[in-house]
Every structure is written in C-alpha cells, then in structure tokens.
Amino acid sequence: MITTEQREKLRGWFAGRLPDDLFEELAELTVDREEITVIGRIPAPRLSEGVSATEREAAVRSRIQEFRERTRQARIEVAAEAEHQFRRKVSWGVECDGERALFTHVAAPVMTRLRQPERQVLDTLIAGGVARSRSDALAWCVRLVQKHTDDWLAELRNSLEHVQRVRAQGPDAEPEDAPSDTE
C-alpha cells in the first residue's frame, strides 16, 4: 500500500516521462506491491453519424490494436525505466470511446488456507460451471466482493494511508532525505 503522496509522485513521473503524443490524457494509474498499471485515453475513431453498434465496436477494437502495435517500442522504453526505478512491473491499457482494454497485466499467485466450508463454496462454483478450478473460483469471489464493496474498500484504503502517515512520524521513521520505494 502506498500513500497518496507517493501515488502522486508516481503519476507525476509518468506524466512527465510519457511522450506527449502517446495519450490524450493519462486516465488512471494504479499501484500495488507487484505492478503499476498505466491507462491512457486515446482518441475514438471518426465515424459517420448513425453507424451501427457493431461497426462502432469493430472500429474501436481496431483503433486500440493499432495503438498497441504503433506505440509498443515507446511503452517498452518507459516501462524499462520505471521498472528499474520503482521495482515493479509496468502494465499498459487504454480507454477509447468508453471501452477499456488492458494489454498486459500481472497475474500474481496468492496462497491461502481454507477450511472445508470455504472449500465447499469454491467447489460449488466449479460444479455449477462458474469456474474451472478453485483458483478461478477464488478469483471470481474476489471480483464479486470488489464489485459490491468499492466504497468500503476506498474508506479502508484511506484509513491505511492515515496509519502510514502516523507511523512515518514515529521514532523509527526514516529521515526525510532517505529514498522511498517510489522515488
């Protein structure tokens, strides 16, 4: 978990480092222990009025694919610098005409121990065709919780930031000039 200040420094680094013509706007930057996900907004394809939803969807998908191929080298260069400096993998995505696409992202393994009633929940999801494995079922459960608890999770993250700020003021805090993991 990083603080708002660290996230702002990181966002500022990317805003300053990304080529001016890469995105219309840096839409979102998300960080965790393993990964930095950079999502930029790109222009929607120019289409005539009244085109079908199918044509619009195909045009947006093509625009995203064209952007991905055309900008690959520039994104690799920025990612290499960022990965060296921040010690996290960099993943990329775009927003185009209301559609979001991730090009790359880390799928980090997470180990857990579950008791039988919890395993039975996962096994029921598998038997019902919701998931192929316990791992898929657990990921499905996490997405379901995430979908229904965004406000609660945001409040929890804010509380954790406050705890980190208070902890940083304690007697064991690093000196101000010591580099943090996002500098």
pLDDT tens for each residue of 112-165:
899 999 999 999 999 999 999 999 999 999 988 888 787 787 888 888 888 888
For the chain, give the longest Cα–Cα distance.
65
The C-alpha atoms of residue 68 and residue 86 are separated, in whole angstroms, by 23
How many C-beta atoms surround the C-beta of residue 176 within 10 A? 6
Check if the beta carbon of residue 127 is closer than 8 Å to that of residue 55. no
pLDDT of amino acid 178 = 45
Segments of the chain with pLDDT less than 70: 1, 173-183
pLDDT at 17: 95
Q: Which pairing describes strands 35-41 and 25-31: parallel, antiparallel, or unpaired?
A: antiparallel
Q: For position 104, what pLDDT does the model report? A: 82
* pTM for the structure as a whole: 0.69
pLDDT at 173: 67
